[in-house]
Each structure stands twice: as structure tokens, then as C-alpha cells.
Amino acid sequence: MSGGSLGIRSGSYGSLEKQQQNGVLPIQAPSATARTKPFKLFKEKESLVHWVCKFAGRQNIGMLILFLISAAVFVRVLYVGKGEDQEDDDGPKVSDSLPLNNSVTPLLNEVQSVGIENRVSLPINVEGTEVRVMPPPPPSHFLGYTLPSGHPCNSFSLPPPPADKKRSGPRPCPVCYIPTEEAIALMPKVPSFSPVVKSLTYIYEENLNKETEFGGSDFGGYPTLRQRDDSYDIRESMDVHCGFVKGSKPGHGTGFDIDDNDLLAMEQCHGVVVASAIFGAFDVIQQPKNISEYSKQTVCFFMFADEETEADLKANGGLDETKKIGVWRIVVVHNLPYTDGRRNGKIPKLLTHRLFPNARFSLWIDGKLELVFDPYQILERFLWRKNATFAISKHYKRFDVFAEAEANKAAGKYDNASIDFQIDFYKKEGLTPYSESKLPITSDVPEGCVIIREHIPISNLFTCLWFNEVDRFTSRDQISFSTVRDKIAAKTNWTVYMFLDCERRNFVVQQYHKEVLARLAQNAPPVINPPPPPVFVR
């Protein structure tokens, strides 16, 4: 290795090897003939002094010498100053783009998660020679972070439920959020790791084969049971059914069709998406509260609606050519693929990654819910701080699929025969009632009105396969949730983060459907229970 490659400063003429290449010979020991040169040089210097004295005069010699000394000192100062400036220019420069965290100590491995702009080259000395050693490259995946020791959120615990016998149903509970500015600064610069599966190709079929065992649709593509089994054989690269099986791309001749200008706006969402839907003019649009100005500028808020809802909004909700109501952009969907409105609603809920192909994170909330916290705070609390890629709340009461199926039958949510058929099918595949043997999994039943997720291949696969179960069996997605989750976990060790339902009720407030509001308006206004006061840590 040459000196140049180590950063060693060579002489002004370069290295010895370079001198030989350029024809410059090394200096030899002085010979006898060379000994006369110093005497000759001395004579030349002596004659120069006599010449100066002859023309300058003795009285000016002192002034001349003083002038020469001053000039030499001046040149020396300039040379040293220039060298110091060059060393300063070569020194390490720390970026000023580190996320601010004024209220608490910086997170322990925050530099590791914020990206390459915070890394510098550090000079070290090896045997007196300055060598620059570059640090290792930044991580290619988000590795999570840990709140510093003593941070209030580390010791935060839920208070006991209030002793109110009149209110035995679900209620909100406090959640420890960090301020919005800090949550924004902690947004991962790189995606999370996707175990096993690295790429997904979604199946398109112009000529659908309807010769399947049972279930399926034109929108879902009628996958056979063999194709279903193959989709749970998790591999690095996979071809899967994931809705929109006809047409050139989602929203174009696929069913659930969307206008081009809306599709373009959806493709331009590259960060965070908050999505919701109202079909059949069933709900009143709820405007989010406590949203930061930064979120209003950077987060995409999209509300999907059918033509019936569009007509109602134009008549009563103020929808005009801007296509916006508050922060929501209203996207009107044509050619809905299902007659069941609940099943149509599962398309934007579970296939968000297909409608927003460039988004990194999404927050789905049902149309009847009012968002009361900033999306970045929710993502930080339930995804980034937990190093999770998919989060959903547990059902407040039921944790067993068999109990959930019976509750759906009792409430008339779907025809009983279809629910029984789905449960029997899952039992033959090995579904058992929930027990402690499934720990650390604490529930098989989600409260599916809110989904928080990162759009990476493994979470995209999960929602594709979950939608396929909804397409094949019933629209009651709570029944199929645990089957899909456990089949993927068995092959990848990936699972879903399930948090308490009372925590979900902290950042969304459930409102009444329009028909309920109309009925209550005849008697008394409904009583909406407000969420608990927010917990901000500074």
C-alpha cells in the first residue's frame, strides 16, 4: 500500500518510486569534486554583501536588515495561517440536521435510526501519521430506538379503571405520547426489516377462471384452495392474489374504479396516509382534531365515498369542485365490486398499500370515528417505539374466535350458515379456542376499526391474504384475522402488535351513525364521552 493510499503527506516531489519514474535520481554522497561548491557559494555571498554595502551605504544597512527580517516574519505568518485553514477545512463536520429533542435526553440509538447525515469521518493518529477512518455504513433497515433511562413513558402504567358500576362497557384510558415535534423527528429514515419475503407481485387476470372450489369474486380473482395454500408458503419472492385482478392498475377497470386525477394524487403520497371511507351515506364526516400544521402539510387525508355518499355530501356537506371537506380529500369510487357495503369497505381498509403504492405508513380509521391526536404521535407510540410494522387493538371483551363468531350470529352481522361454514373450515385446519398456550399472544380477536401499519412486503402480504379470506368467506374480518396471522408467523416469526382497546379509544372517538343520530334527534341529543386528557411528556 502506498503512502498516498494511507493519506500520508509526502514531500513536494512525491515518493521515491515516483521520482524514479520521472527520471529524478536519488541524491548520492558528496564526491571530492563536489567539495569545492560550498567555497564557491561562500564567495558569491561575500561579493553580494560588498555590493549591497557599496550602493546602500553603512547608515542604511541596519534599516535594510530590519526590513528583510520583518518581511520574512510576515511571510512565515501567512504560511502558517494558510496551513491552519486547510486543516480546519479537512476536519470533521457534524450535520446540523439532527432531530431536536429539547425536552428529554436524546434517544440511546437515535443516531443509528436517523440516517447517514449524522455520520462523520474521525481522524486518528497512527505512529504520528494522520489517517482518516470512515465509520461503518448506516443501517439499511430501521432498528428501533429506546427511550432514555428515566423517561416518564418508560415507567408509565395504566391507572386502575374508575369504580363506576353504571359504566361497565368499554372506555378510553390514558396513553403516554411524546410531543408532536419529537415524534416527527423520530420518523424512521429507512424501512423496517421484512422477514423472508422481500418482493410481492400481484396477480392480474383478464380472463378469470371461475372453476374454483368455492368463494371468490371477479374483484378477488377466484383463487383455488391450492393457490390459497401456496400463498402461505412464505418465500422471498411471491406472486399473490390481492384484489384488483383485472385492468392495468388498481382503480382502472378493476372494479372500485377511481378517476385519473384522484389516482395521480394518491400516487403522489410518499409519506403518511390517513384513510377512511363512507358508503351508502351511512356516516357523517368527522374532522380530525389536534392536528399539527406540519401534518396538515405532509400527511395525506383521503376519504373514499360511493356515488350515493357523493350526492349526499353535495346536498348537505358542502362538497364542491375542490373535492375537499376540511382536511379530507373526497375520492368518489365507481363500479363497486360487491353488493355488501361492509365488504366494499374492506378494500381501502386492507388494500391501502395498493391504492397508495408509494406511501410508507398508513393509519386506517372507520368512517364513524373522529381522530383526536396527531398521526405522527400515533405512529411513534404504536409502531416506531415498539419497533412494530403492524398494530391493531384487541377487542375490549372477546379474545376467542369461537366466541366472536357466536356474537356475530347473535347480532345478525352475517347469515349464520356462512359463519358456521367458515368456522368449521378453520377448525379442520387446526383452529382451536384461545388458551394460555398461545402466550405471549393475548388475543385472537381484534377491534378492526383502526389499523396502523408500515408498508413493507411482510405487512403487505398479511393484508393481501387477510383480504382474500374476506373475499372467499364472510366480510367479518375479526373471524379470519388470527388464522392469517398465525399461518404467516409460523413461517416467518413475524406477528402483529396488539394493544389495548382502551388505548385505541384514546386517539379516536366513536360517533353515531346517521340513522342513529336522526332517531336520537327526535328525543334528546346523544351524549358523546370525551377522551381522557392527553399525556404529554416533556
DSSP string for residues in 343-401: HHHHHHHH-HHHHSTT-SEEEEE-TTEEE-S-HHHHHIIIIITTT-SEEEEEPSS---H
Classified as helix, coil or strand, 407 is: helix
Q: What is the pLDDT of residue 345?
A: 95
Dump strand ranges (E) for 148-299.
176-177, 199-202, 237-240, 257-258, 272-278
Cell of 402: 369461537
pLDDT at 33 over 50: no
Split at pLDDT 50, 70, 90, the class of 1 is very low
111-121 pLDDT, tens digit each: 334 333 344 44
- Does pLDDT of 15 surpass 80? no
SS3 state of residue 162: coil
In this prediction, residue 104 carries a pLDDT of: 38
pLDDT attached to residue 66: 65
Q: Give the CA radius of gyration of the chain.
A: 36
Q: What is the mean pLDDT of residues 33-62?
A: 49
The winner for highest mean pLDDT among 41-55, 68-82, 158-172, 405-419 is 405-419
Please state, in angstroms and as integers, the Cα–Cα distance from residue 17 to each residue in 5, 12, 34, following that order: 14, 14, 26
Q: What pLDDT, on the 0 to 100 scale, is given for residue 468?
A: 98
Q: What is the mean pLDDT of the chain?
A: 81
* Local structure of 19: helix, strand or coil: helix
Dihedral of CA 134/137/143/147: which sign? positive
Instruction: For residue range 251-266, list pLDDT tens digits in order.
Output: 999 999 999 999 999 9
Q: Are 451 and 364 in contact (CB under 8 A)?
A: yes
Say what the pTM is: 0.73
Give CA–CA dist 304/332, Å, rounded. Answer: 6
Contact yes or no for 196/457 (Cβ under 8 A): no
Q: What is the DSSP string of 412-471?
A: TSS-HHHHHHHHHHHHHTT-----GGGTT---S-EEEEEEEEE-SHHHHHHHHHHHHHHH
Q: pLDDT of 243-254, one tens digit each?
A: 999 988 999 999
The answer to whether the beta carbons of residues 220 and 243 sit under 8 Å apart is yes
User: Among 202-216, 346-360, 463-477, which is the least confidently predicted range?
Assistant: 202-216
List the one residue out of 460, 469, 467 whose CA is nearest residue 494: 460
pLDDT digits (tens, 9 = 90+) for 92-137: 333 333 333 333 334 434 433 433 334 444 455 555 566 677 777 7
Closest by Cα among 473, 342, 457 to 389:
457
Q: What is the C-alpha separation between 415 and 322, in angstroms, rounded?
A: 41
CB burial of residue 339 (10 Å; 0-12, 13-18, 19+): exposed
pLDDT one-digit tens code per residue, 279-314: 998 888 999 999 999 999 999 999 999 999 999 999
pLDDT at 81: 52
Highest-pLDDT range among 43-52, 124-133, 493-502, 509-518: 493-502
Q: Which residue has the higher pLDDT, 65 or 353?
A: 353
At 39, is the pLDDT very low, low, confident or very high (cuts 50, 70, 90)? very low
C-alpha angle 330-335-338 in degrees, rounded to nearest 5 = 105
- Give the span between the Cα atoms of 332 and 415, in whole angstroms: 29
Q: For residue 118, give the nearest of 127, 107, 126 by alpha carbon.
A: 107
Distance in angstroms between the alpha carbons of the first and the last residue of the chain: 53
